[in-house]
Amino acid sequence: MRWRGMAVAAVLAATPAHADNPQFRGADPHAIIIGSELWVFPTGGPSGSWSADRFGAWSSADLVHWKSRGVLIRRDAIKWIGDDGAAEHFLWAPAVATRNGKWYLYYSVGPQNPTPSRIGVAVADRPEGPYQDSGRPLLTGGNGFEAIDPMVFVDPRTQTPYLYAGGSAGATLRVFELKPDMVTIAREIAVEQPPQFTEGAFMHERNGLYYLSYSHGKWNGPSYSVHYATAPSPTGPWTYRGPILTGDKSHQGPGHHSFVQRNGEWLIVYHRWERPPGEGPYRGERQVAIESIRYASDGSILPVKMTDRADSPR
């Protein structure tokens, strides 16, 4: 998504805690479990307002108190960023993966016009970094495709890493297999376009069923929402299941999310606008929130109710 926000999910042994929604300012949150904490890698975050020149991370053991993990990487450390000749550049929509003791930070570099958007990747020895850029773009947009919103999923069945990317104006999802080094594309895999797809793809697996979820609509308007499809593999074929997270009387534009499993419970971590219904474009700061996910007996995801304060998940 504009100016924004591989699941590595594990189960914690800690006592369930209170999620005090909204959590903090930020967008496009990629959430993973590291040790006994939930880590969130967003665009922007609780230490200040929008920042388009760096990424940070925040962690919490109780989903109430958040600890800054510092700056992961700054824009001026990405040496190739000015190679396109554009007057300015912005960073948004980070995603994190880990493999072979290394951590990989994938991110969007824009704007899309007048030059194509790009996706970069940086590597670190620890989740909080510091991250060192790989030295070149991982993927470059063009011909109607926007190279934005990366997400890397390592299939638990085969250990194959997949990169999901694309969306917005082109509303095109592309999927790639990565090489074992996690910073090189091995090949593109042709996939059908999921219905209602706009951007922000995320993949998770549960009981052998693969869930492709994504944002639909305009990022700063009332249509923004989360839809999903299921498949027998990480690359389809997709069975569209419909929307699961849409605006209500107090919150608008929920989207660009991630799924994570904590204490045996699945959660969705997403951003939203704290405001009643109304036409966009919305302005100001988006907020990160966390909700419980419930699955039906057939594996489908039940519609998600957005919560505030006392009625947030425990």
Assess whether 248 carries a catalytic annotation: no
Among candidate residues 28, 128, 146, 291, the one labeled active-site is 28
Nearest partner of 247 among 229, 216, 223, judged by Cα? 223
Q: Which two tokens stand for residue 227?
A: 């839809």
Give the Cα separation of 307 and 138 in Å (integer): 37
Catalytic position from the list 133, 149, 199, 205: 199
Please check whether residue 138 is in contact with residue 114, taking contact to mean a CB–CB distance below 8 angstroms: no
* HSE, side-chain direction, 13 A CA sphere, residue 109: 31
As a whole number of angstroms, the distance between CA 50 and CA 70 comes to 15
**CA 1, CA 280: separation in Å to the nearest integer?**
15
C-alpha–C-alpha distance, residues 272 and 253, integer Å: 5
Place of tokens 């790639």: 176
Q: Is 84 a catalytic residue?
A: no
The residue whose two tokens read 């700056």 is: 71
Cα–Cα distance, 113 to 118 (Å, whole number): 11
- So which residues are the catalytic ones? 28, 199
